[in-house]
Structures are given as C-alpha cells and as structure tokens.
Amino acid sequence: MKNILELSKAELEKEMTGMSAKKFNASQIMEWIYIKHAGSFDVMSNLPLSLRELLNKYFVMEKPRVEQKLVSASKDTIKYLLKCSDGILVESVLMKHIDRHTICLSSQAGCAYGCAMCATGSMGFKRNLSAAEITGQVFAALPDMDSGEYSGKFNVVFMGMGEPLANYDNFKKAAGVLTEKKAFGISARRITVSTCGVVPGIENMIRDGLRFNLSVSLHAVNDRVRDMLVPVNKKYRLEKLFTACAKYFAFNPDPVTFEYVMIKSVNDREDDLKELIYIISDLKIDCKVNLIPYNRVNIKEFSASSQKTIDLWRETLEKEGVICSVRREMGADINAACGQLAGGMV
C-alpha cells in the first residue's frame, strides 16, 4: 500500500484519475489531511463512499511517531524525537516567538558532511528522509502551537538534521506540500533552506523555480579554515559557492543569509572580520550575516567567542552597511540549539 502523504498534488491527481475518480478529489483529500488533520479516510464525508473504500484499500496515512518531547525551561522551545516506520530516529524543533512560530525540520537521519561544530555530523549518515517523514515533523508540532497560529502563518526552516540539498528530490516534494494551498499553504517567503554549501543543489533550486530564503552555513572566510570546519568546502570551494549565491540572488532577489558560528581563536579574529566585509562588498548582492554563538557539542575542543567579540563584529558589520543579527539562543538546555541535534534525547 502507498503512503498517501508521499504524494504531491499532481501525483495524487494522477492516482485519482487512474481510479476513475475526479481530478478535484485530490484537492479534497489534501484539505482533509493537511487543513482538517483527518486521521482516516472514513471521515472524509464529501468523498463518495466508493472512493473512500478504494483509498482504504490502496493507501495508508503513515507519519513518524512522537517518541519523546522535551520542553525548554523558558517554555519557548520544544524538541521532538520522532520514530520512523523502520525505527530510525530523527529530531525536530518548534521555536515559539512572540509574533510567530518556527519549525526546524530535519531532512536526513544523520549527515554525511561532518561539519566540525555540529553534533549531527558526528552521527554519520543513516539515510535520507522521505517527503512524508519531512512533512510529518510539522504534524508533530501542530498540537503545541497556540490556537489559530498554524494555518499558513508559521515559518519553516530546513536547519535540522542533515543537508536538505543532498536529499533534493524529497526536499523538493516536501516543500511542494508545504506551499500547496490545498495542503499547509505556507508562503515561500516563510520557508528558509539552509545549506553547508552544496552548489549543485543551489543550482537545482534555480532550475526548478524554488524561490525560498537561502541561508548558507559559511563559518569561515578562507578555504583553509573552512576546509576544517565545513569539509564539503574541499569539493565546492568558496569561489564556487559565492558564484552560486550570486546566481541565486539574480534568480530570487531576496537577501542571502550567511550563517557564521563564532568560535574563539578559530574564525573570530580581526582579519577574519575584515575579510568578511571585503567578501560581502565584492559579491555585490543583498545579504545578511547571522552571527551564532557556538554551542558546545563535545566534538572538538572549541570554545565560544566572547560576547565582547560578537558585539564588536555586529557593530562593525552594521557600520559597514551590512545587515547583521546575533542569533538568540533557544533550547540549549534541551540540546535543541544550533548544531546540537543528534537523534536522541538528553
């Protein structure tokens, strides 16, 4: 039996016509699943009984199961441990802000890219998540959202476990369900895709017309340091990465965000700051810099940059006309902050 949550709208329409049903039945089914949160085909009362019987015969609605849930002391962050049908465990995070909710989605179980400051990379790569396993993380978080907030008004960031652009087909299908009006109906402007620098994936987004917010895990301003922190840099050098970012900006003229984890005496020197300012000036695109205080993940003996250094970087970048923010730490006490997801609970 097929998992109906794996199907895009176009695929579901094809299934309907193949079952001698109407094409518009696909939209009805998606509304029941993604808007009304139906748990079975039997409750889909505006579908003919014969179609409901066929759906029960040929399809299932299979989502990852919530095994555990941790809530931060501040109550603004919730981490979910989800079990997939084959027993693989993944984590996702719900962050509650005053004016919005943000769901941090995982795209893979583990990760093959081994970034030095990331706990997920220390797990190694288990497997790609299916589209249903990705969107299933949204279903897990919905009950914990304030009433009325989730209907197309939450943000999604592909910043959880794994590299979304290395699981491109399933990421693309999941993103299609997230933005489909008959499904979750999220505006593309509310979706952010974070990549460690998989250049072909950025080019694929341009090819396929995926206009999401692009966030690049930069973390270093030269190839020598970035080779150590973000090993994919050995394959896609900074020059290639920046060229891809410029192409994406030409395709989707929203600012590109450069994420920069601040690590003491590794990438936070004065020369690093000067080089970052030069790079941004030379790129000639709208961009933002998001400075991230390093969260200890017991992989390497790194230390966080001092608050004084972080403040100096922010102030200097802003003086140079660069939009800069310092990421607010959320969920560190439950290992839900940047770089801390590792497929298990504390």
| Catalytic residue selected from 6, 13, 15, 91 | 91
- 275 included as an active-site residue: no
Mean pLDDT of the residues in the chain: 92
Condensed to tens digits (0 to 9), the pLDDT of residues 222-242 reads 999 999 999 999 999 999 999
Instruction: Identify the CA nearest to 145 among candidates 176, 102, 207.
Output: 102
Say which amino acid occupies 58.
Answer: Y
Question: Is residue 346 within 8 Å of 81, Cβ to Cβ?
Answer: no
Q: Which domains does the chain have, with CATH numbers?
A: 2-60 (1.10.150.530), 65-334 (3.20.20.70)
Residue 150 has pLDDT above 60, yes or no: no
Q: What pLDDT is stored for residue 344 in this prediction?
A: 57
- 111 included as an active-site residue: no
Condensed to tens digits (0 to 9), the pLDDT of residues 159-189 reads 999 999 999 999 999 999 999 999 999 999 9
Six token digits for residue 146: 């304030």
Residue 148 has pLDDT above 60, yes or no: no
Q: What pLDDT is stored for residue 345 in this prediction?
A: 45
Q: What pLDDT is stored for residue 121 in this prediction?
A: 77
The residue ranking higher by pLDDT, 207 or 338, is: 207
d(CA 69, CA 309): 35
Residues facing 110 on adjacent strands: 125
Six token digits for residue 46: 């505006």
Instruction: Identify the CA nearest to 2 among candidates 43, 61, 86.
Output: 61
Six token digits for residue 271: 């020369």
pLDDT band at 75 (very low <50, low <70, confident <90, very high): confident
Terminus-to-terminus CA distance in the chain, angstroms? 36
Residue 149 has pLDDT above 50, yes or no: no
Q: What pLDDT is stored for residue 346 in this prediction?
A: 44
Say which amino acid occupies 249.
Answer: F
Cα 283 versus chain centre, distance: 25
Opening angle at CA 251, ends 222 and 245, nearest 5: 5
d(CA 330, CA 310): 17
Q: What pLDDT is stored for residue 122 in this prediction?
A: 77
Question: Is residue 19 within 8 Å of 57, Cβ to Cβ?
Answer: no
| H or E element, residue 289 | strand 287-293
Q: Which of 86-100, 248-262, 317-331 has the highest mean pLDDT?
A: 248-262
pLDDT band at 299 (very low <50, low <70, confident <90, very high): low
Ranking 25-29, 97-101, 227-231, 313-317 by mean pLDDT, the lowest is 97-101
* Pairing status of strand 77-83 against strand 89-96: antiparallel
Six token digits for residue 345: 């609970």
Q: What percent of the chain has pLDDT over 70?
A: 93
Cα 329 versus chain centre, distance: 17
